[in-house]
Structure 1
């Protein structure tokens, strides 16, 4: 089991001081994590709201790769329909070069309609745009003198994107594969898999069995493919700590749900619940990675039995104070990571 750190980069405000504090905390934590046994650091992509200050994840990862030379750096995820595929490949390959071949490319369709509207695009077109973008990105990463004539994207003159990928044949590719359609797409394209954040071990195992069934049906192999699960984490010896973490995870869930169902940020501030839904809090309480280091080790071992090979651990979410999340991260590194030492190898390439 490999364990990385994932950053949503939620912010309490849009002012300059808050932004400086947020990015400063991020880079200090990444530098601290460099030699603690984590496999890598991941940054999501979101736009136009305090839900996340990660509108340019590749720029943030460029500096992260510099301050933490032992960690892989990954996108979790890039929202492909918001990108020009040629620009994306150029930026990813540049990061792959300057990091010495440490990039993991996580991709997905996105789900927040206001982000699409801000780019003059329609969420209803996201699947078609995503699949066509993958076709073009595949060609750009694996071929020279690429041309392309699609419905959404065109490359009218032969192009060879430079620099070429540093990793052979290119950075590993991960897909946020939750729906049956996305899961099948990931299987047939040779991608690694990103599972649901709050899925139970039983649900994760069921999803992995579905992946294996699709692979057999389509004549594919999933041997060596990675299967990751995002988890909100709170490592503590305080018996009341898990309830605090559950409230903040529930707050994050409520904001995500609002944005997924059409809510629009006001002056850049994401919609926040006036009160925490007890049902959300109980769901989070049951599905967090939370408790003492020994308790979390046992929880991770149960997840590993479901087929998961990688956990992306989120330590800060909702309105979790930075000090509390960092204490949790330090205790996790001291008491949990040693149980999984020696499992931080490189990810599996995709497009195999």
Structure 2
């Protein structure tokens, strides 16, 4: 099993100094991660709120790739309906060149209405725009003299986007998918699967099985594809630290739910800790990878049993104190990470159509 590091970039304030400090902390984590055995750095894309200070993930990844030359860098995810496909292909191809072919392209439809409104888009039409963008994006990555006429995008003159990416035929594409329709779409296109932090082990098993079946139906070998999930992590024996992790993970889940409902204004900040829904605290406890190293390894093995081949680990989320997150990261890197290569989901992926 591969373990990446998620950059969530949550901030309790939209102040200039606080956001600059958030970036400084992130690049400090990138330097620390270099050479420790992590597979890569993954950054999300969000706009207009302090849920995540990651409005320009490709720029952040360009610098991260310089600071950690042994790590891959990836997006989890770019909100594809907010992008012009030609602009996106130019940027990701350039980043692939600058990193020497270390870039992973994660894409998704997005889910926060206020982000779509801010860019003059309608979230209700995101599926059609997303699928048309995928079609054009793949052509621009692999073909020359492309023209295109669709419902949302038009390329009137033949264009060849330069530079061409280093990885052939293009950087690995990962797609965020929750619904069965989206999972099948990812399989038909041969994409790797990204699953959200809010899915339980049982839900992940269903997603993985559906993906494996859809890949076989598309004439593809599931063993050549991967399933990734994001998890909040707290590695440590301290009960107080774990309780803090539960509450901060719940806060992150609650803010995400508010944004998904469109009820948070532009520039909205995280709700205060004492306002977090107790039900979400219980849910966060179920979704956390938490406890002493042996317990965390056991939880990773459960994810592998559900078909997960990669975990993108978030060590700092909500208002998690920097020192607490750092202790958790160091313990994880020293006493968990060396053993994760022995955790395999391969048997499930190569199996038949039965339950994992």
Fold match by TM threshold 0.5: yes
Residue 193 (structure 1) shift: 0.2
1:43 aligns with 2:53: no
Residue 186 (structure 1) shift: 0.2
* 239-248 or 281-290: bigger deviation: 239-248
What SS does the corresponding residue of 2:157 show, helix, strand or coil? strand
Report the equivalent of 1:349. Answer: none
* d(CA) in 1 for partners of 2:269, 2:127: 25
* d(CA) in 2 for partners of 1:338, 1:216: 33
Residue 271 (structure 1) shift: 5.1
Report the equivalent of 1:350. Answer: none
Residue 17 (structure 1) shift: 1.1
Does the 8 A contact of 1:242 with 1:285 survive in 2?
A: no
* 16-25 or 122-131: bigger deviation: 16-25
Report the equivalent of 2:140. Answer: 140
Does the 8 A contact of 1:264 with 1:271 survive in 2?
A: no
* d(CA) in 2 for partners of 1:210, 1:328: 34
What SS does the corresponding residue of 2:339 show, helix, strand or coil? helix
What SS does the corresponding residue of 2:285 show, helix, strand or coil? helix
Report the equivalent of 2:271. Answer: 272
What SS does the corresponding residue of 2:158 show, helix, strand or coil? strand
Report the equivalent of 1:348. Answer: none
Within 5 Å, give how 1:44-123 maps onto structure 2.
44-123=44-123
* d(CA) in 1 for partners of 2:291, 2:342: 23
Alignment CA distance shift 1:43-1:299 (3 Å): same
* 97-106 or 257-266: bigger deviation: 257-266
Does the 8 A contact of 1:198 with 1:288 survive in 2?
A: no
Within 5 Å, give how 1:116-195 maps onto structure 2.
116-195=116-195
* d(CA) in 1 for partners of 2:59, 2:41: 13
Residue 343 (structure 1) shift: 8.5
* d(CA) in 1 for partners of 2:90, 2:343: 31
Report the equivalent of 1:347. Answer: none
Does the 8 A contact of 1:141 with 1:165 survive in 2?
A: yes
Report the equivalent of 2:353. Answer: none
Does the 8 A contact of 2:216 with 2:222 survive in 1?
A: no
Does the 8 A contact of 2:11 with 2:270 survive in 1?
A: no
* d(CA) in 2 for partners of 1:236, 1:172: 34
* d(CA) in 2 for partners of 1:296, 1:343: 12
Does the 8 A contact of 1:37 with 1:341 survive in 2?
A: no
Report the equivalent of 2:203. Answer: 203
* 140-149 or 13-22: bigger deviation: 13-22
Flag structure 2 segments of 5+ consecutive residues without an equivalent.
Answer: 345-356
- Normalised by the length of structure 2, the TM-score is 0.93
Report the equivalent of 2:331. Answer: 331
What SS does the corresponding residue of 1:223 show, helix, strand or coil? helix
Report the equivalent of 1:290. Answer: 290
Within 5 Å, give how 1:299-310 maps onto structure 2.
299-310=299-310
* d(CA) in 2 for partners of 1:289, 1:282: 13
Within 5 Å, give how 1:220-239 maps onto structure 2.
220-239=220-239
Does the 8 A contact of 2:190 with 2:215 survive in 1?
A: no
Report the equivalent of 1:21. Answer: 21
Residue 270 (structure 1) shift: 2.9
Aligned alpha-carbon RMSD (Å): 1.6
1:73-130 CA distances to partner (integer Å, 9 max, x unpaired)?
0001000011010000000010000111100000000000010001111001110000
Does the 8 A contact of 2:31 with 2:68 survive in 1?
A: yes
* d(CA) in 2 for partners of 1:42, 1:135: 24
What SS does the corresponding residue of 1:144 show, helix, strand or coil? coil
What SS does the corresponding residue of 1:105 show, helix, strand or coil? strand
* d(CA) in 1 for partners of 2:86, 2:188: 23
Flag structure 1 segments of 5+ consecutive residues without an equivalent.
Answer: 345-352
- Normalised by the length of structure 1, the TM-score is 0.94
* d(CA) in 1 for partners of 2:213, 2:329: 37
